[in-house]
Amino acid sequence: MLLSILLIRLKKSWEVSLKNIGENWRFYENGGDARLWYGNIIDVVDWGENSVSYYKDKGGLT
């Protein structure tokens, strides 16, 4: 359930300004093929106050 809700606001890291990562945007590890040096952190998700309350209302956060 949580994964399907997260995908609504999922973006690639180059679509979000670096200065916004850490405020409302968080890195999202989505698994997939193993990467030797940096890992699978290629996506970011909107994790601002509005998003968190939305996910809580839908039952996506525990």
Distance, in Å, from the CA atom of 35 to the CA atom of 56, rounded to the nearest integer, reads 32
Asked whether the beta carbons of 45 and 26 are under 8 A apart, the reply is yes
Query: Is the per-residue pLDDT at 12 higher than 50?
Result: yes
Read off the pLDDT of residues 17-62 as tens digits, 9 standing for 90 and up: 777 677 777 777 766 676 666 666 667 777 888 878 887 777 766 5
pLDDT at position 5: 43
Rounded to 5°, angle at Cα 10 from 62 and 61: 5
Residue 57: the pLDDT is 78
